[in-house]
A and B are shown apart, each in its own frame.
Chain A
Amino acid sequence: MAGEKSENNQIEKLMDAPVEFFKDGKQFLSKCKKPTGSEYSKIIRAVGFGFIAVGVIGYAIKLIHIPIRYVIV
Chain B
Amino acid sequence: MAKFSYFITVRLIDVVKPFLPILPEVELPYEKIEFDDRVVYTIFSGLIYLFAQFPLAGIPKDLESNVKDPIYFLRGVFAAEPKTILEFGIFPVIASPLLLQLMAGLRIIKVNFKIQQDRELFQSLTKLFAIFQYIILSNVFIFSGYYGDSLTIAQIFLLNIQLVGAGIFVTLMCEVVDKGFGFTSGAMVINTAVIATNLVADTFGISQITIDTEGHQEPQGSLINLLQGVRAKHKTFVGAIVNAFNRDYLPNLTTTCVVVAIAMAIGYIQNIRIEVPVRSTRARGMNNVYPIRLLHVGSLSVLFSYVCLFYIHILGFILIQLIGKNNADSLICKVLGHYEIVNNILYVPTFPLSSLAPPKSLFGGILEQPISFIAYPLFIVITGIWFACNWQAISGQSARDIAKDFKDQGITLTGRREQNISKELNKIVPVASTTGAAILAAITVLGELLGLKGKAAGMVIGIAGGYSILEIVTLDYQQNGSGSNLGQVLSGQFAL
Contact = CB atoms under 8 A, between A and B. Distances in A.
Contacts of A62: 50, 53, 197, 201
The CB with the most chain B CB atoms within 10 A, among A33, A58, A62, is that of A58
Given A28-B431, A58-B47, A72-B55, A35 B200 contact: no
A68 interface: yes
Nearest to A52: B200
A5 interface: no
B267 interface: yes
A51 B273 contact: no
Contacts of B204: 56, 59
Interface in B466-496: 466-467, 470, 493-496
A73 B470 contact: no
A18 B463 CA distance: 28
A72 B200 CA distance: 25
B57 interface: yes
A69 B61 CA distance: 10
A56 B493 contact: no
B54 interface: yes
Categorize the interface residue count of chain B. 35 or more
B267 A43 contact: yes
A73 B387 CA distance: 43
B219 to A, nearest CB: 13
A25 B438 CA distance: 9
Nearest to A68: B54
B205 interface: yes
A50 B263 CA distance: 13
Interface string B188-218: 0000111011111100110100000000000
A68 B272 CA distance: 45
Given A40-B267, A55-B200, A63-B207, A47 B470 contact: yes
A73 B197 contact: no
B495 A55 contact: no
A29 B295 CA distance: 12
Given A25-B435, A58-B194, A69-B55, A32 B273 contact: yes
Contacts of B53: 62, 65
Contact of A32 (B199, B270, B272, B463): B272
A67 to B, nearest CB: 12
B384 to A, nearest CB: 12
A25 B197 contact: no
Interface string A33-54: 1110001101110111111101
A58 B431 CA distance: 38
B89 interface: no
A48 B266 CA distance: 12
A47 to B, nearest CB: 5
Interface residues of A, number: 38
A2 interface: no
Contact of A56 (B61, B200, B207, B273): B200
B14 interface: no
B462 interface: yes
Contacts of A66: 207
Contacts of B199: 51, 55
B383 to A, nearest CB: 15
Contacts of B462: 51
A65 B267 CA distance: 32
A58 B196 contact: yes
Given A32-B274, A33-B273, A34-B271, A49 B493 contact: yes
A20 to B, nearest CB: 11
B201 A54 contact: no
Contact of B57 (A29, A51, A72): A72
Contacts of A24: 431, 435
A44 B267 CA distance: 6
Contact of B197 (A39, A42, A55, A64): A55
Nearest to B56: A73
Nearest to A53: B196
A61 B438 contact: no
Contacts of B50: 58, 61-62
Contacts of B270: 43
B310 to A, nearest CB: 23
Nearest to B474: A46
B274 A31 contact: yes
Q: Which 9 A-B pairs have the closest CB atoms?
A: A58-B197, A55-B200, A55-B196, A35-B271, A25-B435, A54-B196, A59-B200, A51-B196, A61-B50
Interface of B: 43, 46-47, 50-51, 53-55, 57, 61, 192-194, 196-201, 204-205, 207, 263-264, 267-268, 270-275, 291, 294, 385, 428, 431-432, 434-435, 438, 462-463, 466-467, 470, 493-496
5 contacts: A42-B496, A54-B192, A58-B196, A72-B55, A73-B55
Given A25-B431, A54-B43, A64-B51, 10 more contacts: A21-B438, A25-B435, A28-B435, A29-B272, A34-B268, A34-B272, A40-B267, A42-B496, A46-B470, A59-B197
Interface of A: 21, 24-25, 28-29, 31-35, 39-40, 42-44, 46-52, 54-59, 61-66, 68-69, 72-73
